[in-house]
Amino acid sequence: MAQRILVIDDDTDICLLLRRFLSKNGFEVAVAHNGVTGLTVLEDFHPDLVLTDFKLGDMDGATILTRIKEKFPHLPVLIITGYSDIKIAINVMKQGAYDYITKPLFPDEILLTIRKALSHSQTHEQGAQAGGDTDNGSAGTSRRKSAQVQYIFGEGPESTYLYKQVDLVAPTNYSVLIYGESGSGKEAVALEIHKRSKRASGPFVAMDCGAISRELAASELFGHEKGSFTGALAQKIGHFEMANGGTLFLDEVGNLPYDVQVSLLRVVQERKLRRIGGNREIDVDVRLIVASNERLIEAARRGRFREDLYYRFNEFSIDVPPLRERRSDLLIFAQFFLDKTNNELGKQVKGFTPEVERAFRDYPWPGNLRELRNVIKRSTLLTEGEYVDARTLPFELLNYDKLLFPEPNTVNVVPSSLQEAALMPSYEAPPVAKPNVNSKVDLKSAALEAEYEMILNVLKQVNFNKSKAAQALGIDRKTLYNKMKNINLSN
């Protein structure tokens, strides 16, 4: 029986192209042109996978994802998004989306991602069936990690320091708090700590606290007994029990509801828990590693996170630097992901052309290692020769400077075919505006206008190359980006 895919997109051309392409590859396809219709079709069609655009006319990707997961929590959802919205896409993945696909869409990439999502879903269902009447977690929020998972630290000074911290804390039983931007590799670092610890033979269980609803958070952590609340049709083992004797990794722990934080503090202190609706206390022996992309002490001062829980977690803290601060390791990471993708696709791509290496160095990588991995997976899939060349890279990566400082009234994307035109996102170039300064003459406004003029003049002289501009101004790229943002040059 053919597997079913629901496509939700307000672009009728994209719906038509996807329906034809997926049907030719053996799938049964239904389409909807807005979120409300998509949710209605979802009830009747019962798809095996949903492929939805992030920007719909009546709702955004986060909303429709939430609505889908409320009714079908294990249904894999793929988000279609523009490359400039990659940060949004990453956040939606944290809410439970399986993966995202960037425009322009490439058929082979779509098919590969869909098959991986369906394979992942089938593996989860088989695992649930093997567990009988006990539900051991939700897809997308709980993942057991094999000791064979590989991670590369790099060789630069930031990577060396990170490695030393992991090596130092791993043999202890300290709770560890990991900070880092989305996609920077926090979970991989947590897994490395587990693998180097005395608990390496025990389970490593990961839970994404940003991907579960407030109502289910306590049940996911502590489990529940059958009949303890509406919808509790079977006994559920929580993540703490699943990780007993090993390590529990809580990603984005700051998203946990305040009342769940109270229960979590008790479990951390006493190493005992009660399932929801249960009377028996259960001993748990778990090492906790938690992660956040915001400083939890700041969240505690604003009343969003319990300060006593923060101090329980913060026995040792690690900062995972973003990829833009690990430039010396960029090509090491790129080759690592290329080798893994070669194995996955059965290809033998050797490396990257000098133009691609330059583009990698110039790009700021807002999605960090996750974005680099996805770019390389896509480029390797499209590469026909021995080296990844610039033609396989996303337009936005090669033209980042032009997108940040576009020429007025110019067209940035020229489709090479009708199909590419139908699948390619539209882009309107925003004008570069001079900052508004107070008409009152004062030192601050004068300095702001002088800084604006100097930065703009230097950028024009170097054809808006940020690396050269930063060098000419005697500052680093990060400082330059911050200054451009402050004076409204980064539209």
For 62, the 3-state DSSP assignment is helix
Q: Are residues 164 and 245 in the same domain?
A: yes
CATH number at residue 37: 3.40.50.2300
Residues 292, 295, 297, 302: is their CA dihedral positive or negative? negative
Q: Are residues 126 and 184 in the same domain?
A: no
CA distance 467 to 408: 23
CB-CB contact of 309 with 292 (8 Å) = no
Tens digit of pLDDT for each residue in 161-205?
898 899 889 999 999 999 999 889 999 999 999 998 999 888 999
pLDDT for 235 equals 80
Q: What is the mean pLDDT of residues 448-456?
A: 73
0.75 exceeded by pTM? no
Residue 48 lies in a domain: yes
**Cβ count within 10 A of residue 400:** 17
Q: Between 459 and 49, where is the model more confident?
A: 49
Residue 96: name the closest of 129, 72, 124 by CA: 72
pLDDT for 88 equals 67
CATH number at residue 174: 3.40.50.300
Residue type, 317: S
Tens digit of pLDDT for each residue in 204-215?
999 888 777 777
Q: Between 112 and 439, where is the model more confident?
A: 112
Q: Are residues 216 and 275 in the same domain?
A: yes
Residue 151 has pLDDT above 70, yes or no: no
Q: Are residues 58 and 113 in the same domain?
A: yes
Residue 483 lies in a domain: no
Q: Are residues 48 and 172 in the same domain?
A: no
Tens digit of pLDDT for each residue in 75-124?
899 988 875 555 666 667 767 788 778 777 877 778 888 888 887 666 44
CA distance 306 to 259: 10
290, two tokens: 């938690």
Residue 376 lies in a domain: yes
177, two tokens: 């708090």
pLDDT for 294 equals 87
In which element (H, E) is residue 374 found? Answer: helix 368-382
Range of the structural domain that residue 278 is part of: 142-319
For 490, the 3-state DSSP assignment is coil
CA distance 185 to 321: 9
For 320, the 3-state DSSP assignment is coil
Residue 486 has pLDDT above 90, yes or no: no
Residue 40 lies in a domain: yes
Residue type, 489: L
Owner of token pair 């294990």: 74
CA distance 219 to 240: 11
CA distance 183 to 174: 24
For 4, the 3-state DSSP assignment is strand
pLDDT for 437 equals 47
Residue 445 lies in a domain: no
Residue 468 lies in a domain: no
**Cβ count within 10 A of residue 148:** 6
Q: Are residues 236 and 377 in the same domain?
A: no
Tens digit of pLDDT for each residue in 269-299?
888 988 888 888 899 999 999 999 889 999 8
pLDDT for 62 equals 80
Q: Are residues 308 and 333 in the same domain?
A: no
Sequence-ordered alpha helix ranges (H) in 25-140: 35-45, 61-71, 86-94, 107-130
CA distance 90 to 85: 9
Share of the chain above pLDDT 70, in %: 77
- Residue 103 main-chain phi, psi, to 5 deg: -80, 150
Q: Are residues 274 and 150 in the same domain?
A: yes
Confidence of residue 446 (pLDDT cuts 50, 70, 90): low
Between the two ends of the chain, the Cα-to-Cα distance in Å is 49
- Residue 332 main-chain phi, psi, to 5 deg: -65, -45
Residue 168 lies in a domain: yes
Residue at a domain's end among 319, 336, 360: 319
Q: Are residues 51 and 173 in the same domain?
A: no
Mean pLDDT of the chain: 79
For 348, the 3-state DSSP assignment is coil
Q: Between 268 and 155, where is the model more confident?
A: 268
CB-CB contact of 218 with 276 (8 Å) = yes
Contacts by 445-451, CB closer than 8 A, 24 or more apart: 448/487, 451/483, 451/487
pLDDT for 85 equals 58
Residue 357 lies in a domain: yes
CATH number at residue 345: 1.10.8.60
CB-CB contact of 391 with 385 (8 Å) = no
Tens digit of pLDDT for each residue in 22-72?
998 889 999 999 989 999 999 888 999 999 988 888 888 788 888 888 888
Distances (CA, A) of 367 to 88, 181, 228, 322, 374: 10, 8, 41, 9, 10
Q: Between 380 and 439, where is the model more confident?
A: 380
Q: Are residues 193 and 69 in the same domain?
A: no
Residue 276: name the closest of 289, 253, 260, 297 by CA: 260
Q: Are residues 74 and 107 in the same domain?
A: yes
Residue at a domain's end among 344, 369, 398: 398
Residue 476 has pLDDT above 80, yes or no: no
Q: Report the number of distinct structural domains present in the chain.
A: 3
pLDDT for 412 equals 42
Which residues, other chains included, contact 203 with Cβ-Cβ below 8 Å and sequence gap of 6+? Answer: 144, 242, 243, 244, 245, 246, 247
Q: Are residues 278 and 361 in the same domain?
A: no
CA dihedral 46→51→53→56, nearest 10 degrees, is -10
Please name every residue paired with 50 in a beta bridge, in sequence order, or none if there are none.
6, 77
Residue 129 has pLDDT above 70, yes or no: no
Q: Could you tell me how many residues make up the chain? A: 491
Residue at a domain's end among 297, 319, 341: 319
pLDDT for 137 equals 39
